[in-house]
Amino acid sequence: MEWLKKIISHIPIVAGSTDATFDNFRDAGKEVFIATLCSLLPLIISVIYLSIKIQQSELSLFDMMLTNINKGELLLCATSIIAPVAYLVLTDPPKERRYTSRYSHGVVLFAIILLSTIAFVTIRTSGTINSGTILTYSLLALILSVITLFFSCVQKNINYDPERLKRSEDDFTAMVHRHRSGQ
């Protein structure tokens, strides 16, 4: 099993997860599920609303969802899913290296946001992109965003130290008290 860890430790995005426990993966799965659901909620609610409002329509729920996806909405959802990754990548203190694969996550984050923005603008301005291509790219961006968020959450969960967090809060509280008392 040690050889598998060595191989995984050289793969970008998943490299930091070799020391993860089952609980780290489970908690990351919960976080990603909630983030994905919240990101997709506007798309899901709009389809439900349209299906209620337009009951006589020949369009099925799937066709209504596909219409929204072909307008680029799923690309926006893909970029909103990875917003927490930006926070994790940008707030890791450089000297501590708590977030070991932050550069590979940063590159993937930048690529997803840049390519999704270009595709979204192209869809909205020209509209000449094949709907199959839009669907394929949208799903690919969404899946890559979910995978990136998942492994970012695993990395975050590995490094979660409640004692360090408590010490940090205590230090902050003491600093506020000293400031307020004029010392």
The per-residue pLDDT of the chain, averaged, comes to 79
User: Model confidence over 82-136: pLDDT tens digits?
Assistant: 888 887 777 766 666 666 677 777 888 888 888 888 888 888 887 677 778 888 8
- For range 45-64, the mean pLDDT: 74
What's the pLDDT score for residue 122? Answer: 84
- Measure the CA–CA gap between 84 and 70, rounded to whole angstroms: 26
Kindly give, in sequence order, each residue whose CB lies less than 8 Å from that of residue 148, ignoring residues fewer than 6 positions away.
Answer: 13, 82, 85, 105, 108, 109, 112
Sorted by where each begins, the domain ranges of the chain are 20-159
What's the pLDDT score for residue 55? Answer: 66
- For range 137-148, the mean pLDDT: 89
Kindly give, in sequence order, each residue whose CB lies less than 8 Å from that of residue 165, ignoring residues fewer than 6 positions away.
Answer: none
Report the predicted TM-score, pTM, of the whole model to 2 decimal places.
0.73
- Measure the CA–CA gap between 20 and 156, rounded to whole angstroms: 10
